[in-house]
Structure 1
């Protein structure tokens, strides 16, 4: 089907809208991770770290889409251990899940038991911290991209639709990254909630890697419910503060 016929096909527009929604929902995980990482950098470096990280993530996503036949082949078993077969996709999800669990656990420990003598990053240390944050953003985005691309293949066979959906989703993430990071930093309890989400997402990725399918609807429903409760807590604290000031 050529591009003109694709534009005129209502099914193509439905597939595009569905893929954009899916990419945006999956992008919530990335945005939480980006918020946690970049908020540890000096304030002047945070916008650049978000832009560079997400731009590189977009470039690598498009590169993965260009090699979609190879991505599909990642679902084929390559390793058998204790009577269970693992594909490259499984191994990628296991590695990404383990990294998320480790990172979230480390950050939670730092929040609960902070080191008062830890110096603020300056000079070369700040530059290294920024490069490390960008690298982690890109690597984790690649983990999520492999899973989302394999899902997208089952929804449409048109690479053009996948490319447009990915570009739109990343542009929306670029717009939302700074406000979300500022909101997370302004509310310490939201930071802990975000780390809890990352811990749960990492656990789900590891479960998927071991072949235990966890419906994404359950995960995001739990996240939405927890976020709604936290929003009520924030509203309650603000109203109590206003009442005291008055």
Structure 2
């Protein structure tokens, strides 16, 4: 099996789930257009969203991989932080650091890349926790007044606001894959799927909120991994792929069991009648 296939499939699935909110967001904006223009506006909105995401991804990938960002901006020990003491406390003394070692330099030297990964991980965790909180509070996105707007203004709003809405999926892509072409391919495949099955996907996720909750939980996991890597602790992404596949497998079994119980109750109700 090609090495890129697993991250490509995993990232494509994540991009589709994370893009549901984007579909809802675009549907709200294009809903202000005349009915005849809404399908065109929705499709163009998704295409503009793809262009925005790929551009943002390329910038973030370049920043994350450019050698110029590998130089230390500052060092923790220059701030009188006991790097060795903290590391030994976290590892219970099992992995003792030595001054001058590669491990010490990796933790002590804070680079622009570390800060980007730290802030990106914090953003993923914060956004995911906020959305989970909203799910529990049963909050809904409310459409503003039904005043008529122009086609161009709607597309402009989609292009600008999608930068904010796409941060989570772009940061997720950088956190889950190494090759830029894999990230772009996953985004393109996900967008094609959403263009074809936009309505069906939205209805399926809305009718199975546990899948959305599972995706948000994966975002928290990836956010923690990015923060850990920014601090010099590296994880094998295979563990994350396995956890995602296992969790999805269990969730689909639960959905199948739930549907069986629902069908059985429906048959029982028909027999009573």
1:78 — aligned with what? 73
Cα shift readout 1:31-54 (whole Å, capped 9, x = no counterpart):
333234544664675765543222
> What residue in structure 2 maps to residue 139 of structure 1?
167
Question: Per the alignment, do residues 70 and 134 of structure 1 end up closer, same or farther by CA in structure 2, a change over 3 Å counting?
Answer: same
**Distance in 2 between the 1:132 and 1:186 partners?**
29
Alpha-carbon shift at residue 142 of structure 1 (Å): 4.6
Distance in 2 (CA, whole Å) between partners of 1:148 and 1:120 is 34
* 1:227 pairs with 2:257: no
- Distance in 2, matches of 1:39 and 1:211, equals 38
- Aligned match of 1:159: none
| 2:169 is equivalent to residue 173 of structure 1 | no
Task: After TM superposition, list the pairs within 5 Å mapping 1:79-228 onto structure 2.
Answer: 79-81=74-76, 82=81, 83=83, 84-115=108-139, 119-122=142-145, 134-144=162-172, 151-152=178-179, 163=181, 165=182, 167-177=184-194, 178=198, 180-228=201-249
Kept in 2: contact 1:41–1:121 (CA 8 A) = no
Is the partner of 1:114 in helix, strand or coil? coil
Secondary structure at the counterpart of residue 79 of structure 1: strand
Question: How many pairs were matched up?
Answer: 218
**What is the match of residue 19 of structure 2?**
34
Would the aligned equivalents of 1:96 and 1:205 in 2 still touch at CA under 8 Å?
yes
TM-score (norm 2): 0.63
Moved more, 19-28 or 226-235: 19-28
Residues 93, 48 of structure 1: CA spacing in aligned structure 2 closer, same or farther, 3 A cutoff? farther
* CA separation of 1:228 and 1:41: change in aligned 2, threshold 3 A: same
Report the CA distance shift for 1:94/1:182 in structure 2 as closer, same or farther (over 3 A).
Answer: farther
Q: SS at 1:93's partner residue? A: helix
Partner Cα separation in structure 2 for residue 225 and residue 210 of structure 1: 28
Residue 102 (structure 1) shift:
0.7
Q: TM-score, normalised by structure 1?
A: 0.69
Aligned equivalents of 1:74, 1:225: Cα separation in 2: 36
Structure 2 runs not aligned, ≥5 long: 31-41, 84-107, 148-153, 268-273
